[in-house]
Each structure stands twice: as structure tokens, then as C-alpha cells.
Structure 1
């Protein structure tokens, strides 16, 4: 059962939540000791596994019927079969997350509560954002909220607005890109998403524009960050020109995002050490 829950939490994507925490910690900390403080370590531990159990557990519970026709569940992921362990694990993950409020300042709380709200309502009724075109993309800014919480917890202030908007656009594009391999299963299940509404080629254009705007906003904060994030729209052009199958390229992004996140994190660490 533990193996099942770990696979349900999508280990390949663990750093999609924990990675922003590392970035938020390195840019929110002012001293080396701050990097290894209790809030920093607790936030990373929570968003590495429990938060992923929460997010994907809810997703699998409310997508059980849709996932019957999704080929990803045959190899890369698992299908929810009605086990009571999953709702219990989701509830425990929420309680563990609420425990973070005891060791973080109030300025960090709204970011976490926003994560819980968007994480639940992306898949669960009554809102179920994932079935409404554009809202499914917009709501996936939730992936940068752990980083915003970490920054606020370490610095005592909210992150720069440019970083929030730029990160939100990046997450919107990443989510919508990942929905391209699901276009056919979603259409068969009668689910409407941004990707099913736009179709493959226009969805790729949408992702490229979001990633380009994200790079521009981060470039206003630091030109080096903007140049780094230009790799994302450049990759979209590469996939189109070389006619790379998106359901193949999709599985390369955990590695791509890890490298980009590592560069951003090292930049933050250098700032702290140099300071």
C-alpha cells in the first residue's frame, strides 16, 4: 500500500512542488543558517511527498471514471480502484500541512491556504476547474504557491509581484502542455479543457506565449533569469520544427525543469553565501 501511495504521488513530479520551495527558501533566506532552519526543512519535506499525495490523491479519486481510458495509468501511474486508504492519506496530508502554520509567520499562511483551495478544487466539485477551459490552466498557478510560502516564511515578506505573475504564467503553460497527451482520452470522456478547446497546435502556441511572457517578467527582475527561462518557448519551437511527439517530450520535462530549477537555486545560494 505504501508503494501504491508513492506511485500515486507521481515521484517523477515530486520536484514540481518541492522545487519551488527550494527556490523560495534560497531567495527568502538572508543567512546560511536560514537555509537549514526548521521552517525551511519542514516545508521541503511536506511539499516533497505529503503535498503530492494530497494533490494527486484528490485528482485520482474524482477522475477514476475518466482514467479508465487513459493509457498513462497503465505504465507510468496507477489507477484509483476505490481504496479507502487514498481518502485517508489525503486527509492526513492536509492535517500535516496545517501543522506548518504553527512554525511559519502569518504572512506565509495565505499562500498555503491558496494551495489547499486550488489543489482541491482543481479536481473536486463543486468548482472542478480542470473541466473548464482556461480556468484549468489558470488554476495551476498553484504549483508556485509552495515557493511563495517558503519565501514569505524565510523573509517575513511577500515575494515580488513580478516573480508571482511570471511564475504563475510558467505554471499555466506547463500544465496546459502536459494536457496535450490527454486530449484524445479527455475528448472520449467528454471533458473539456484548454487543450481540447484549442487543439494540439494552438495549445502549443498558447504555451509558447505564456512561457515567453514569463521569461520577460523574470527578465525585469534579473536579466539572467529571463534568459534562462527563454529555453521553454525555444523548446516548443524545437518540438514543432522537428515534429517531436508531445506525449514523448512531456516525459522529458521533469529533467528539464529540474535543471532550470537547479540553476535558479544555485543563483539564490550564491546570493546568500556572498552576502
Structure 2
């Protein structure tokens, strides 16, 4: 049974280290949630350590720049780690002896930050690719059949696919749409092999805890809006979890949330209506 709390202040009385999701907790992709900017600042002033952990296929620096543009106070968090950053660092090591691989990059708005500085040659079709990198979805512009046609040739040839944004639902200006994680599922359905980097998978939590200096797990709480990613991932890493009722769950019923708790075998320790003090 989850404990209902009034706000982030109640969590601050219980924990010293906060691992916070970005989309759906701090902002909706276009603007901060009411009170979120101030809550981050107050956590900092209360002496709490905060790490923002995002299933963004972009590297950490572009994500932090976007937060500043949205009105968040630079320096009000201690660390930012994205799945795209973890993937980029891993690929840099893996590709040191594989320069020139042809990469089909699935991203948004022509963004190339996921591969900048890597020895990859970008191509436009699955027929040409030696590797597929799924960093984002344009599910608000294309349907799944678009991605099926694009990816089928690569999957049929056994080309490896790396998904650096496991979110299956994303928030857009026109409402929730399928995310890069759903495209990765499609790739697997087409017979391709997918490697996942991000929440809820262990690799990214190992990187987080290393970055934080291996704090006492009982003093750490993961705050998120996704049961599948934030709650299951945090619990899998042996950490306490808090679920906010914004983001992907904003219009969900209690019955729907209970179904997701059962499906992912993950019930949050705490429930908070929104990320506000």
C-alpha cells in the first residue's frame, strides 16, 4: 500500500538524495508544472542532493539547456544523466575500432546530438544501415507503419538496434503519442534484436549510483510519473519510489493505475499529486 503525501516537503523529511524524472514530473515538454521550479530550489536549499534522470535520447548537456530555457534555475540540481548520455559514452568505447559504420538514426526534428562526435556515417534507409539508433519518436507526425517500412529491411538483415529512449509513451503538444520505446518494440516484432539503455534497465541505475558516490539506498528516493520506467526501475535498483499524478498518468483512473502496478509488479512507496513543495 502506497503512502499518500501532501507534497515534496514530506519526502524531504524522509530522504537525502532525490533521483527525479524530467518529462511528466518537472515539466510537460512545453512548460514547468506549477511549483516545480520552486520545489527544485527548495530541495537544494534544504541541503538535499538531486540527480535528474531522463529517458531522453539526447545527451545530458542539451537537456540541461532546455530546462534553463523552460525557466528552471541552473544549479538547482546537482547532476543530470540521460539515457542518451550513457549510450553515447558506451558507443564511443565500442566504436573505437569500428569507424565508418553506417547508422540509421531515428530522432526528432533532425536532431543529431545523439551521434555527434561518434565515428558513424548517417544513412536514410534500413537497406543501407549497419546499426540502428532509436533516440526519439515523431509519433505526433508519423504512424507506426511509417517506421515499419523504414525499419523492416534492417530487421530482416539482422542489424543491431540500440534504443536510447525506452519510453513507450511521450508527451507532445497534441497529447500523448507513441515513443521511441514503442518503435523499438516494433523492431523486435519485425525480428530484429534490440539493446535497451535507460529506465527501468539496470545499466543506467548503476551509472546513477556511481555518479552519486554510492549513497545509502534507504536515503534515496526516485520520483517519477511512469510505473513501468520510474517505479519499476527504482525498485529494481533497491531504492524507494514516489509516483506523481502528472505526466502519463494525469488522466488515469485508480483502476488503471492498479492494473499497471500489477502488470509491472511495482507499487510505489509514496504517492504525491504533483512535484510541488
TM-score normalised by structure 1 residue count: 0.27
Q: Which has more helix, going by share of residues?
A: 1
Query: As a proportion of its length, which structure holds more strand?
Result: 2
